[in-house]
Structure 1
Amino acid sequence: MQRLYAQARDRGVELIGAEKPANLTDADTSLFSSVVACDVEDPAAAVRALRTLDATLVGGLAFRDLCVEPLAAVGEALGFPCVSTLTARTTRNKDLCREQLRQAALPQPASRLVNGREEALEFLEKTAPGPWIVKPRDGMGSANVDLVRSQDELDAALAGRPAGVPFLVEEFVSGPEYSADGVAVGGRPVIVALAQKSLGPRFVETGHRIPADLSAVQSEDVHEQVERALLAVGLTHGLFHVEFWLTEDGVVLGEIHARPGGAFIPTMAEYARPGLEFYGMYVDDALGVDPCRMPALSRSAGMRHVIVEPPGRLVSVSGWEDAVSAHEVIAARLSVKPGDEITPVCWSADRHGFVVVEGTSGAGVDARLGQIQNRIVFEVTSADQPTDSSDA
């Protein structure tokens, strides 16, 4: 948020924030000229609250998936450039997005929105031999995503899902995963960074690195397909984060998000392109200012999430302060402490911290992250055993 604040301020734009009251209790709001307390995940509530502002709004950004549709409603109601409510709904619902991309002749896995086990089983039989993915149509953070390798595994994947709520079943796409991030400028997408990602159990993201290890031909194909996809769903304003796979048959697009990528991707993009102002590009476009030339991609940056294993009770942490004091470290945070219960990582909120570094090359960044990871030692014991909560 500090980068957004600085780049907006340099252009004479102040920030107005909106957030749920419960999330503002201990929040630092010093970067905002004002903050509106409202239900930012409810379009009608957000519109009612922000209508009361005595300010000229030139644009708006959502940083959480659940805020994308409310932001679109606010933009339409208050008259500032923003994605449409139709585009917001399309990007938030994976089945609608996949269908839109198919209509644009972009490769997509077979998928179906189903209402229960029988419809899911019918899809599996039609698209055998699998495997398949079962997930919410509008989920986030890899929550409730299950890999199903056979019909026998379907019941386990459906256990615990809310009754009466449709869910998505689709063919599993095999291949390394990446993301494309950028800004819509003049109504057209401008890709700023291609990042490669690493995944852990249950498809939870464990790291990202810019630039991705793609050839010039592969990068050109990605640019072409991502730009077509964004225009197909109508994403002509704001920031975007598009996920994709590189398969044996080429690029296959995944989810499209009408928000900036998480995991410090905008920050890493600025380190990889010295002189880039990611949010400044957005503010300039909102103000109608001609875009500046894109700085060259000349460095690298990467991040890894901290995953403490095995599950249990954290007894001690050693090496953290020393490891993250390296001059290459951009940001680091450890969100667990001795005495905390360590639970299995089932979705993004379960991760235990992060480290972000920059360097001259992708290989160098990967090596530095590996060195940092190896210098941090977590001692975990059975959750039912007592601990003195001392830090080794």
Structure 2
Amino acid sequence: MRLLHEQARRRGLELIGAEKPANLSFADASKFSALVPCDVEDAAAAVATMTSVDAEVAGVLAFRDLCVEPLAAVARALGIPAISPSAARTTRNKDLSRERLREAGLPQPASALVRNVTEAREFLDSTPPGPWIVKPRDGMGSAQVDLVRSAADLEQAFSGRPHGSPALIEEFVPGPEFSADGVVVGGVPVITALAQKSLGPCFVETGHRVPADLSDAQVALVDEQMRVALPAVGLDRGLFHVEFWTHDTGVVLGEIHARPGGAFIPTMAEYARPGLEMYGLYLDDVLGRPSRPIPPTTRSAGMRHLIVQPPGRLVSVSGWDAAVAVDECVASGLLVGPGDRIGPVTWSADRHGFVVVEGASGAEVDACLDRIENGIGFEVTQDGPPEPVSPPSAP
């Protein structure tokens, strides 16, 4: 939020923050001209609240997936530039996004929306041998993502899911995973960061590094596909975060998000491209001002989520202050403390801390992250089963 605040102020703009009342206490009030209690995850409630705010609004930004559709409805009610409610719905529902990308001629895995094991088994029978992935059509944070290697795995994959709730089943896409972040400027997607992604248990993200290890040909192919994909799903305004895989035959796009990437990706993009103002690109676009040139990538930045092992009761943490005190560390947070129960990592909220660093190269960043992680000690004792955190349910 600091970057958005600074770049807005430089353009003579103020920020109005809207959030659920229970979450407002966590907001830094100094960054906003007003903080509005609002059910930002309900479109009707958000429209009713935000249309009553006495302010001239130039643009809107969502930072959570559950806020994308309500924010699109608010923008339409206010008559300001933003993606349409239908585009917001498409980006929020993975099956709809896959359909639009397939219709646009982009390579996509075979997929289907199913409601039970029987329908999922029919899909498996109609596709080449697996593996496959089963996940919620509008899920987030890698919650309830299951790898299915055969029909025998389907019962386990569907256990615990809400009865009758649609799930997306699709062919598993092999290869390393990446993400592209940027801003739609004048209707054209402008990529500001290509991030390398690392994954842990249950496909939960454990780290990102900017820039990614991609060849010039791969970068050009990603840019080419993005120029087709974003208009195909209706994402014609604002910031975007798009996941993709690479393999021998090219690039396959995954989920498309109408929001900035999490995990400090905008911050890392600006460290990797000194002089870049990622939010400023968006603000200039909605204000109708000429866009500024995109500075070249001359440095690197990376972040790592910390995962405490094994599960149990956390007794002590050692070395944290010294490990994160290095000059290269630009942000850090420890999310657990002595006495906390450490459960298995099944979605993003189960991670236990993070570190963000910057450096001259990707190798330097990776080495720094290794040193910091190796300098932190976690003592865990086994004193009974951990208490898992329940992933969110879609409204």
Q: How does the TM-score come out when normalised to structure 2?
A: 0.96
Where do 1:64-103 residues align within 5 Å?
64-103=64-103
Where do 1:130-145 residues align within 5 Å?
130-145=130-145
1:14-50 CA-to-partner distances (Å, cap 9, x unmatched) read: 0001101111234332211111111100001000000
Amino acid of the residue matched to residue 278 of structure 2?
A: F
1:154-191 CA-to-partner distances (Å, cap 9, x unmatched) read: 10010010001111100000000000000011111101
Query: Which residue number in structure 2 is paired with residue 55 of structure 1?
Result: 55
**Structure 2: how far apart are the matches of 1:100 and 1:328?**
42
**Structure 2: how far apart are the matches of 1:205 and 1:131?**
20
Query: Which residue number in structure 1 is paired with residue 322 of structure 2?
Result: 322
Query: Which residue number in structure 2 is paired with residue 43 of structure 1?
Result: 43
**Using a 3 Å threshold, how does the CA distance of structure 1 residues 18 and 175 change in structure 2: closer, same or farther?**
same
Alpha-carbon shift at residue 352 of structure 1 (Å): 0.5
Report the more deviating stretch, 122-131 or 252-261: 122-131
Query: Which residue number in structure 2 is paired with residue 105 of structure 1?
Result: 105
Where do 1:165-314 residues align within 5 Å?
165-314=165-314
Partner of 2:31: helix, strand, or coil? coil
**Structure 2: how far apart are the matches of 1:28 and 1:368?**
30
**Structure 1: how far apart are the matches of 2:15 and 2:334?**
28
1:240-285 CA-to-partner distances (Å, cap 9, x unmatched) read: 0000000222100000000000000000000000001111111111
Q: Which runs of 5+ in 1 are unaligned?
A: 386-392
Are the aligned partners of 2:302 and 2:358 in contact in 1 as well (CA < 8 Å)? yes
Query: Which residue number in structure 2 is paired with residue 388 of structure 1?
Result: none
Report the more deviating stretch, 18-27 or 283-292: 18-27
**Structure 2: how far apart are the matches of 1:202 and 1:281?**
35
Where do 1:350-365 residues align within 5 Å?
350-365=350-365
Partner of 1:30: helix, strand, or coil? helix
**Structure 2: how far apart are the matches of 1:383 and 1:4?**
44
4+ long deviations beyond 6 Å: none
**Using a 3 Å threshold, how does the CA distance of structure 1 residues 201 and 315 change in structure 2: closer, same or farther?**
same
Query: Which residue number in structure 2 is paired with residue 30 of structure 1?
Result: 30
Amino acid of the residue matched to residue 246 of structure 1?
A: T
**Structure 1: how far apart are the matches of 2:226 and 2:272?**
20
Query: Which residue number in structure 1 is paired with residue 390 of structure 2?
Result: none
Alpha-carbon shift at residue 329 of structure 1 (Å): 0.3
1:79-115 CA-to-partner distances (Å, cap 9, x unmatched) read: 1111111110000000000000000000000000012
Q: How does the TM-score come out when normalised to structure 1?
A: 0.97
**Structure 2: how far apart are the matches of 1:372 and 1:253?**
33
Report the more deviating stretch, 23-32 or 142-151: 23-32
**Structure 1: how far apart are the matches of 2:277 and 2:383?**
46
Partner of 2:261: helix, strand, or coil? coil
Aligned-pair RMSD on alpha carbons?
0.9
Partner of 1:164: helix, strand, or coil? coil
Are the aligned partners of 2:24 and 2:35 in contact in 1 as well (CA < 8 Å)? no
Amino acid of the residue matched to residue 39 of structure 1?
A: D
Amino acid of the residue matched to residue 129 of structure 1?
A: P
Query: Which residue number in structure 1 is paired with residue 7 of structure 2?
Result: 7
1:294-329 CA-to-partner distances (Å, cap 9, x unmatched) read: 111100000000100110000111111101000000
Are the aligned partners of 1:200 and 1:206 in contact in 2 as well (CA < 8 Å)? yes
**Structure 1: how far apart are the matches of 2:168 and 2:345?**
22
**Structure 2: how far apart are the matches of 1:160 and 1:220?**
42
Amino acid of the residue matched to residue 287 of structure 1?
A: L
Amino acid of the residue matched to residue 314 of structure 1?
A: L
**Structure 2: how far apart are the matches of 1:21 and 1:284?**
31
Query: Which residue number in structure 2 is paired with residue 148 of structure 1?
Result: 148
Report the more deviating stretch, 369-378 or 27-36: 27-36
**Structure 2: how far apart are the matches of 1:228 and 1:301?**
28
Query: Which residue number in structure 1 is paired with residue 393 of structure 2?
Result: none
Partner of 2:30: helix, strand, or coil? coil
Alpha-carbon shift at residue 384 of structure 1 (Å): 3.5
**Structure 2: how far apart are the matches of 1:384 and 1:117?**
33
Partner of 1:140: helix, strand, or coil? coil
Partner of 1:156: helix, strand, or coil? helix
Q: Which runs of 5+ in 2 are unaligned?
A: 386-395
Query: Which residue number in structure 2 is paired with residue 390 of structure 1?
Result: none
Alpha-carbon shift at residue 228 of structure 1 (Å): 1.1
Q: Give aligned pairs, total.
A: 385
Are the aligned partners of 1:20 and 1:38 in contact in 2 as well (CA < 8 Å)? yes
1:188-207 CA-to-partner distances (Å, cap 9, x unmatched) read: 11010100100001000000
Identity of aligned residues (%): 69
Partner of 1:321: helix, strand, or coil? helix
1:114-146 CA-to-partner distances (Å, cap 9, x unmatched) read: 121111010011114100000000000000000
Partner of 2:29: helix, strand, or coil? coil
Partner of 1:127: helix, strand, or coil? coil
Are the aligned partners of 1:341 and 1:383 in contact in 2 as well (CA < 8 Å)? no
**Using a 3 Å threshold, how does the CA distance of structure 1 residues 214 and 88 change in structure 2: closer, same or farther?**
same
**Structure 2: how far apart are the matches of 1:342 and 1:128?**
39
